[in-house]
Amino acid sequence: MKCPFCAFEESKVIDSRSADDGERIRRRRECLNCQKRFTTHENIETVPIIVVKRDKSREAFDRNKLFKGILRACEKRPVSIEQTEGIVDKIEAALQKSLDREVTSLQIGELAMTEIKKVDEVAYVRFASVYRQFKDINTFLEELNKLLKEK
């Protein structure tokens, strides 16, 4: 790390502390040349994820958009905001762990349905009805029957 005072390129770390709930690390450093101290912040570098939509258009993954969709499915259900955020966290972590930098909206939808189903079955059916674009009552009943068979 280059010293901001003398531009010497070597320093030693004096103290490290977690910042922003573990999202960053704050480091106090001392220049090995001029002995002045300075602070640096270290962040995790995430690679942007591109979502390929049904119409083949591409856009950057938007955590907020996913959160709003899941929140809408869980509306008036006994699902807390923390649980909803946890679902989004799991999906985002799975996407970051995969080696693919491009994922389809279908993959994200399947991950979302898997996680929502673990929390609330009614919210799951609501999300599935929008995600899978149920055309009529028979499609809706097929999904409910699948759910009942799993029990």
Q: Return d(Cα 13, Cα 42) in angstroms, integer.
A: 12
Two tokens at 22? 């573990």
pLDDT for the residue 47: 78
Q: How much is the pLDDT for 20? A: 67
In tens, the pLDDT along 34-60 reads 999 999 988 777 778 999 998 999 999
- pLDDT score at 133: 75
Tell me the CA distances in angstroms from 137 to 42, 113, 124, 144, one per residue in order. Answer: 53, 20, 16, 10
Q: Which residues of the chain have pLDDT under 70?
A: 20
Q: What share of the chain is helix, strand, coil (3-state, %, to 5)?
A: 45, 20, 35
